[in-house]
Amino acid sequence: MAWRKDAYLNGDGTRIVCHAHGAQFDIGSGVCVLGPCLGQALEPVKIEVAGSGTVFLMPDNKETPQ
């Protein structure tokens, strides 16, 4: 989804930007505020960040990674 290499936010860092169609999403709510998906929203996912900085995608049952 990066619109540039490792760039997921707009220039001032206030919105998530989609590479595919340039839509912009509110960071807090995931609601599309600009672009062809206006009014729709991103689907939230559960993550956990380990002490090492590694990011884990968590299953819906909220298990902790080993």
- pLDDT tens for 4-30 read 666 889 889 999 999 888 899 999 999
Distance CA 66, CA 53 (A): 15
Given the structure tokens 């936010």, which residue do they identify? 9
pLDDT greater than 70 at residue 64: no
Region of 13 (left: φ > 0; alpha: ψ -120 to 50; beta: rest) is: left
Of residues 20 and 41, more confidence is placed in: 41
pLDDT greater than 70 at residue 62: no
The whole-chain average pLDDT of the chain stands at 86
